[in-house]
Structure 1
Amino acid sequence: MQVKEEKEFTIQKRRCLVVWVYSLKQLKTLKRYGLIHYVSRRMKYVVIYMNEEDIEQSEEKINGLHFVRKVERSYRPDVEMNFAEKIGTKAAYQYKEEEGFEVEEISTQIRLAENV
């Protein structure tokens, strides 16, 4: 009787690299560095996703390839994605007791089209 081990799922941190190339003939070479997410044939760039811990070494290796023009990192993981404080939605709904404000309630009657 075999005992099954429960494997815990851990999320790998990933980052995107945008690789600008002179020619798209060498796409197979780029496949070994990570997952190719998008290829722009007109503007000649490739979007590659790879694990965060491998990005330093892979970026240097990719930049050293003869068909690569430039390598850019994605800054999305570094950007804070909580925008509620930035655009002021929390501040808009806060009530300050010192200033205060008056609210007028207007009584409205709902009339149906049949009763008009």
Structure 2
Amino acid sequence: MSINQEIENTHLIKRVALIVYLKSVSDQYKLRHYGDIVYFSKKMKYCVLYVNRKEAEEVKKEISQLDFIKHVEISAEENVNLDSKYIESQITTMAKEAEEKLQLEQEKNEDQI
């Protein structure tokens, strides 16, 4: 069972992240009314705002209409597969690719000598 499935079975309030791109850095404080700001990038002018999953689409539409907002998107974190078997297979694949690259580099170095 994946972590996402285990969380679904709890009585916790399900939340989702909205990535909100701002026109001005100082406008981030106006978003506190809509949810919890957990991250803000001054350089990139965006913030991550957590809202209840049931209200996410409604809040996204409401925030998108504000004059100081460039763009709003819902995070794709729910689509990330956190199953341990899947992660292990990815690690194994990456290790094999890295090994092959190292062997190719060693062969090139030996040919040059």
Establish whether TM, by shorter chain, passes 0.5: yes
SS at match of 1:59: helix
| Alignment partner, residue 98 of structure 2 | none
| Alignment partner, residue 45 of structure 1 | 46
| Alignment partner, residue 33 of structure 1 | 34
Distance in 2, matches of 1:81 and 1:64, equals 34
Distance in 2, matches of 1:69 and 1:79, equals 26
SS at match of 2:81: coil
Map of 1:33-112 to 2, 5 A cutoff? 33-85=34-86, 87-88=88-89
| Alignment partner, residue 4 of structure 1 | none
Gaps of 5+ in 2: 1-9, 91-113
Taking structure 1 as the reference length, the TM-score comes to 0.62
Distance in 2, matches of 1:32 and 1:11, equals 21
1:25 positional shift: 1.9
Gaps of 5+ in 1: 1-8, 90-116
| Regions of 4+ moved over 4 Å | none
RMSD: 2.0
Distance in 1, matches of 2:52 and 2:87, equals 30
Structure 1 counterpart of 2:59, which letter? S
Higher relative contact order (CA 8 A, sep 6+): 2
The alignment-based identity, stated in percent, is 31
Distance in 2, matches of 1:40 and 1:86, equals 29
